[in-house]
Amino acid sequence: MKNIVVTIERQYGSGGRTIGEMLSKELGCHYYNKELTKLASEDSGIAEELFIENDEKIVQKFGKGFFRRNTDVYHGDLISPNKGDFVSQKNLFNYIAKTIKKLADDGSCVLIGRAADYVLKDYENVVRIFVYAPHDFLMEQAGKKQPLMGKELEKYCEKVDECHAAYYHYYTGQDWMDMRNYDLCINSGKLGFEKSVEEIKAYIRTRFGEDAI
């Protein structure tokens, strides 16, 4: 297999994580989601809890509407440990991004969330995916994981997507659901998970050649 990196952003309930896990097994490569904060923590020496807390702070401070006027767009420069803002929101993401780039440089992998598509925007071997689905499908899938129903479940899903959008915009300055940010947008509600995986593999073969995978 050629060195191919797949990044996946996804609506909550669309099964984007499941599709990513299935794809990584099909391709025989590593899958990274929550592991990214652990790896960034190990590299930086900063406690993993600070990375997690940072995500929560961004969502709380830059929620719907307000976050659009407050961005700290990623440019790639790390802040040294002797600086006062070493553990700032900006630098915590810098280390997440450094981790993403290292994994991409090391070989094929599937990366979930964390604006990895933007971090790797200059990499020619990256396939940027966005997974979405119709409302009823999202609610059905989300209901399998959350003990909520009706409007409560709907509000929960909206909140999770709002968090993803806030995080993405804060560090990229771009709209999370702008399809122009991605190479391939997949409606998992129409295709199902297995066919979604096949669609991504077909795209990889079409773009990089039949021998790519």
Question: What is the count of structural domains for the chain?
Answer: 1
pLDDT in tens, 85-96: 898 888 999 999
pLDDT in tens, 157-189: 999 998 899 889 989 999 999 999 999 999 999
pLDDT band of residue 63 (cuts 50, 70, 90) is low
Pick from 75, 138, 103, 132: which is nearest to 6 by CA? Answer: 103
Structural domain span for residue 176: 5-212
CATH label of the domain that carries residue 108:
3.40.50.300
pLDDT in tens, 112-154: 999 999 999 999 999 999 999 999 999 999 999 999 999 999 9
Tokens of 86: 């070493």
pLDDT of residue 66: 46
pLDDT of residue 28: 97
pLDDT in tens, 3-43: 999 999 999 999 999 999 999 999 999 999 999 999 999 99
Cα 63 to the center of its chain, rounded Å = 18
pLDDT greater than 90 at residue 67: no
pLDDT of residue 72: 67
pLDDT greater than 70 at residue 68: no
pTM of the complete model beyond 0.85: yes
pLDDT greater than 60 at residue 69: no
pLDDT of residue 70: 52
pLDDT of residue 106: 96
Question: Which range is least confidently modeled, 2-6, 49-53, 65-69, 155-159?
Answer: 65-69
Angle between helices 35-44 and 89-106 (to 10 degrees): 100
**Mean per-residue pLDDT over the chain, rounded:** 91
Q: Is the dihedral of CA 21, 169, 120, 134 positive or negative?
A: positive
pLDDT band of residue 59 (cuts 50, 70, 90) is low
Contacts of 71 (CB under 8 A, 6+ apart): 169, 170, 171, 172, 173
Length of the chain: 213
